[in-house]
Structure 1
């Protein structure tokens, strides 16, 4: 590098530090105003989320059979996939291993592709709705 280029770079660097030393930030107050309709929307969303039953979301079934094998499959699955909720359901006369609580079919299909490598009989379904007692 030439001497003149070094001198120019040094001068620019010095001037940059000199001017940034003398700069000041802006001072002031911030006031935030929100529309009262936002609070109504938030309470409405909370009510909807309370009414939404997680058991009626999409699930993947990876096993259907007796209890001993269902527990083995559940442990095998939980060892490999720690982030997906797993449970065993009893529907006469078989035990079923269900995984996940997927909101959309796209999300469920992504997991299904990954799960089918280990559990080739896996499939997506929506559990039957529970009847509410009066």
Structure 2
């Protein structure tokens, strides 16, 4: 009985070897056509991104207090939300933990809803402009 099993496997292997030489992959071409307005849209988006000053973007403040607790809060935030940048800012007399750099208030509010689960005192604001 074992001999029959080995014989069947050998026949299958030999036939598979011969048929593999006959098999061919399909050949073809792909043509991609795009609307010329897409290039215009990309150019327009680049212009908007260059005009937008980083200082006018929305941020979320998750902490206000002493340095030790600010560092602890920042670490906790970075551990839970690794996709958004967090920074510590000093404004006399407190340290503040600011997160994100959102273009619109809608974008910031959406993220705020997620952050409020862990940091209930968080709020959205526009940071004051730097003096030149």
RMSD: 2.9
Gaps of 5+ in 1: 1-24
Tell me how far 1:55 sits from its aligned partner. Answer: 2.7
Runs of 4+ in 1 over 3 A off after TM superposition: 29-32, 41-48
Query: Secondary structure, in 3 states, of the residue corresponding to 2:96?
Result: strand
Gaps of 5+ in 2: 1-26
Query: Secondary structure, in 3 states, of the residue corresponding to 1:101?
Result: strand
Tell me how far 1:105 sits from its aligned partner. Answer: 1.3
Aligned partner of 1:59 in structure 2 is 59
Aligned partner of 1:70 in structure 2 is 70
Following the alignment from structure 2 to structure 1, what is the Cα–Cα distance between the partners of residues 28 and 123? 59
Change (3 A) 1:118 1:45: closer
Tell me how far 1:63 sits from its aligned partner. Answer: 0.1
Query: Secondary structure, in 3 states, of the residue corresponding to 1:69?
Result: helix
Following the alignment from structure 1 to structure 2, what is the Cα–Cα distance between the partners of residues 103 and 97? 19
Aligned partner of 2:12 in structure 1 is none
| TM-score calculated relative to the size of structure 2 | 0.64
Change (3 A) 1:42 1:75: same
Following the alignment from structure 1 to structure 2, what is the Cα–Cα distance between the partners of residues 59 and 51? 18
Query: Secondary structure, in 3 states, of the residue corresponding to 2:118?
Result: coil
Aligned partner of 1:125 in structure 2 is 125
Q: Please list the CA deviations of residues 39-68 of structure 1 after superposition, one character each: whole Å capped at 9, or x if unmatched.
A: 7x8667545433422232011000001111
Following the alignment from structure 1 to structure 2, what is the Cα–Cα distance between the partners of residues 31 and 122? 47
Following the alignment from structure 1 to structure 2, what is the Cα–Cα distance between the partners of residues 30 and 72? 52
Aligned pair count?
105
